[in-house]
Chains A and B, each alone.
Chain A
Amino acid sequence: MTVTSYTERPRRSKVDDGADALSVPWSRPLPRRSRVSARVVSAITILMVLAVWTVSARLQLVSPVFLPSPVAVWNKFVVVARDGFVDAKLLQHIAASLWRVFAALIVAIVVGVPIGLAIGVSTIGRGLFDPLLEFLRPIPPLAYLPLIIIWFGIGEPSKILVIAVAMLAPVALSTASGVRGVSQERINAARSLGATQRQVIRHVTLPSALPSILTGLRIALGAGWSTLVAAELVAATRGLGFMIQSAAQFLVTDVVVMGILVIAAIAFVLEFIIRRIERVLVPWAGRE
């Protein structure tokens, strides 16, 4: 099974157990010099893309219908933010999409974490849920979207469900891999201090798996945003995905490009926030 692929962080192996954990190589921050230069390169890359885009739009190498200039996209951003597009302002589109993604995330956590726990803790749980998740994981959202609409209608619950289904596997599998990685010594120590099975799970297994669960949430958010457009294909009146599709139908390319950039920006901000949350919630990760 491919469960382990969801854990990004290097797990500490027995061999690396030095007397002084602070000297473990990956507990040290990267040398400052290399980090700055990577940022500079990234900035240059972005500027280059913008430059090529501007020049080719200015020289009309491609028709503005296909490639609007950055200035046109920016102007459209201002206009849509102020006056709206397809009967809703930009903020309302963003709010609708954010609400769907986060409602789906909560559903995925409420369902996925216990499933992951069951897979990681018990053989029966693994036998029960592993095949279901492996079945669900590779199916593209657009494939099961019709079925969900047939079953649950075209309302808001269907849209949230489509996104939640896409988020379920990453959340559950990351939880399972975190649970399986809990050190046996830690569990034994807790049991010898008088912890019951239930207390071990609550006080040792879950906190130990938390870094891995948070990684799962990050992957799930990525999956959620990529499913958003599919979820807003049918009977939506608001949302970034809906806005982009409506614009595409009328060949309003500048709104399409603007929508893509807004989604990218939101995903970037969310990623940043989750990393912050990780630093607050699991400061020990990687330097135990």
Chain B
Amino acid sequence: MAPPWLDVLDETIGACVTHRRPDLEARLREKRAQQLDPKLRVLVVGESKQGKSQLVNALLNAPVCAVGDDITTTVPTFVQHADTPSAALVRNSSVGGSIFHTPTERIAVPIDQVTKQAAAQHVVRAEIGIPRALLDSGLVLIDTPGVGDTRSAHTASTFAALMQADAVLLVSDATGELTSAEMTLLKKVMEACPNVTVVVTKIDLVPSWRHVVERNRALLARAGIRAKLIPVSSALRLRAAKTGDQRLNAESGFPELVTCVQSDIVASAELLARRAVAVVASSAITQLVTPLREELTAHDSSRTVATISTLQEAQRRVDELRRRSARWQNVLNDEMADLISDVEYDLRDRTRKILREVDKTYDEADPAIGWDKFEQWLEDNLNEAATTNFAWLMERAEWVAAKVARNFPVYREDLIPGSVLPDDLLEPASKLEKPKIEPFSVPQKLFTGLRGSYGGVLMFGLVTSLAGMPLINVISLGAGALFGGKSILDESDQRLKRRQAAAKAAAQRHVDDFFMKFSKDVRDSGRHIQRSLRNHFSTLAEELQETLLESARSAKRAVQDDQTERERRMREGRKELDKLVLLYKRVQALGGPAMELTA
């Protein structure tokens, strides 16, 4: 039949699972496994050099644990029953692992070598088997390294062993009363294992040991610790064993300790188990109850207030959004109108400057020479003007986006759109037409020259014929040549003027075309930007509005639902709490310390 404490423990484990506390569950399971183990572990703890190892030796009347004047015990030593004396060291096989949950290996060693080899690295504990009646019932004595030693690894292994203890013998020597450090240790031990017996050793050395024992009793009483206190002398006991002196044995105080171990610890293993389970289980339940109770109190008061204020907040924010969305739309419209007119003006200004430059150039130069170069120059200038103008447009557009964003009701990371650039932009304008350039060829020049010279020859021929000269003479011919030359010059000058006018007209036309086309593009871009910004922001605004409306709706729902829901949850919580309190009472009935816990 399962012992009664097992049911209670299992139920507590169940409660831990329900309340999702795997940490508590693991701790309880460890305790459960340990309690089901028939071995009874009695841990001997205390500060260093109080005579712990000697106490174990004296209890068993055998030198199983090494004793010495300096720090000797470095790892916990487990002494248990065995038919023949044997010893083993348990070592961490993985180097540098922690004390817990690492694979270990057992190495058998000769019994007199144990302590010497235990000082080696990575030894976790030593195990010694010895045939003794005291150990027969499954009792395991665990000798531990001193607590508070400067090498903290020792202390850590002692506390690790403490978790598995069924009972604890706390050793303090009679040369002084319990120090504050020892009282702290005692309290710490009580938390993990309530079955503590304080053993005062070395009473053979101290004349006033009775006084020390009295003081210790008073100290324990003052601290509210119910622990038995037994004064002993290991030296006397060992000597009595050697000489077989019964009286000396009685003087050593050990008979009382052995009885205490046998009757209080071994015989009452069941009671011990119950008590230990009670302590662990009640501490677990207390931990479960605390958050539950807090939750219940929270339900009562603060929750309703919180939901209502959430609702109010949500409604307020919806109003705010509506009010402010008009504002950002106005800002967008105004800013975009300004932007487009500014950009257009800028463009016109730039093209006019270019045209003026063209005029100045072709007042002097001949378009027949280096037209290609001019064409290139014009193209470059126009391009530059367009680029600058467009860059400005983009800059302004981004600025507008930022301004609109500032006027947007809430701030968000993605508020400013990544790009306002329309996709289809800047098709090249028409090519610059080359103006018609009339070449002034040699036959034309000849003809023009002849035509001019004709008048000269005739004019002067007639004059000179009056003087009786033939019509064609030297003078008339000379004049004809002069007149011809002049008419060629005049003609070529006129042609140049015409060419310049044509070039200017061509440039003018081209720039006009360019301006027409590009200003259209800019306007389109502007409108495009405006549209995309509007879309962007209105989508955001809609999203936001939806979110706010939703939260407002849920808050409203919460306020409505809260009443019923809360009552249901309260009922459930109370039921859980009642269950836990009931469980706690059963745990208490096992014999744990009395603690206050009410629903």
A binds B: no
- Chain B residues in the interface with A (C-beta under 8 A): none
